[in-house]
Amino acid sequence: MTNLFLDALSGVAGPRPPFWFMRQAGRYLPEYREIREQASGFLDLCYSPERAARVTLQPIERFHADAAILFSDILVIPDAIGQEVGFVEGTGPVLTPVTGGADLAKLDPVRTLDHLAPVFETVRQVRAGLPDDVALIGFCGAPWTVATYMVEGGSSRDFSAIKSWAVRERAEFAVLMDILVESTTDYLIAQIEAGAQALQVFDTWAGAVPANDFDSWVIAPTALIVDGVKSARPDVPIIGFARGIGDRLEAYIRGTGVDAVGLDAAITPAEAAAKIQPICPVQGNLDPAYLMVGGAEMEEAAKEILDTLAGGPFVFNLAHGIHKDTPPAHVERLAEIVRRWVAS
């Protein structure tokens, strides 16, 4: 059975570009909110395989995307290795911050696979419920992005706690990154064993890293994870999504060894076609604001992306996650535009 998404990631442009949307499962869907209310909290939903599998499949049933993304979160890793992680309504993630060596000593990457067994069960149930021509994507957060939440204790505006700690105590910060590399590599390989056919590494806050630390905090840890996963399962494509890195995208591709990259909204389709697509398949990059607005604005922006990038290996997606106030009808319309697109 052909799979347009896996073909695109292997460098083959098919009759039409495949698509999926970051955060395609979530609060903008009433059927998600219904199941979310049945769970006692967000992490409980992530660790309830039957419910998590259902919400993974919801956007596939509605929009017939070419790929489903496992319903979980990047912050299950700190939870698995022993940090206290909560999700507070209206606030987002709240973690007991890791601030030094004593906190690091409490973290244990060896717990990862046991703790996340329910997530692997979700992967198995989703794969069993998906048609053959829809691929299943597993994912993780990159060490830098996960570390920002661990050290800041939640979302941050300026990343001052993590940056000052990482600069002042380089060796200690490297220990945290090593723990995350080990735990995340095990986590991704186990997702593949359970049925994930491609992986995406989210480095949402890569753009906040100082240029002189980019190699050590973004490229090196991601490269270690890619190497670790590839040595176990060389056949599974890995998409790197490092937001806000601008001109360092080419260095990121070459340095990390990812098979494809997700594009943020700062690069034009023409620039991506000229500079990035000759190096590897690209995925992106409609700004989610256009999806929220819908109508002609959305259609024109989507068509420009398709006309410019769909001639080469390309996966249509957004530039970051769907906003919770997005009307599902706009998502439906966007899916239709991609599905009906023909080269002109």
- Which residues are designated catalytic? 23, 27, 36, 73, 149
CA distance 166 to 176: 10
Q: How far is the CB of 45 from ligand CP3 (least distance, A)?
A: 7
- Whichever of 27 and 303 has its CB closer to ligand CP3, that residue is 27
Contact between 27 and ligand CP3 per CB under 6 A: yes
- Shortest approach of ligand CP3 to residue 321 CB, angstroms? 4
The count of residues interacting with ligand CP3 (CB under 6 A) is 22
Q: What residues between 42 and 71 interact with ligand CP3 by CB under 6 A?
A: 42, 69, 71
The residue within the footprint of ligand CP3, chosen from 165, 202, 252, 316 (CB under 6 A), is 202
Binding mask 155-194 for ligand CP3 (x = CB under 6 A): x---------------------------------------
Quick one: which of 75, 107, 188, 198 contacts ligand CP3 (CB under 6 A)? 75
Residue bearing tokens 């347009």: 4
Minimum distance from residue 198 beta carbon to ligand CP3 (Å): 13
Q: Say whether residue 208 binds ligand CP3 (CB under 6 A).
A: no
* 321 lies in the site for ligand CP3, by CB under 6 A: yes
Q: Does 23 bind ligand CP3 (CB under 6 A)?
A: yes
Which residues form the interface with ligand CP3 (CB under 6 A)? 22-27, 36, 42, 69, 71, 73-75, 87, 92-93, 139, 155, 202, 204, 320-321
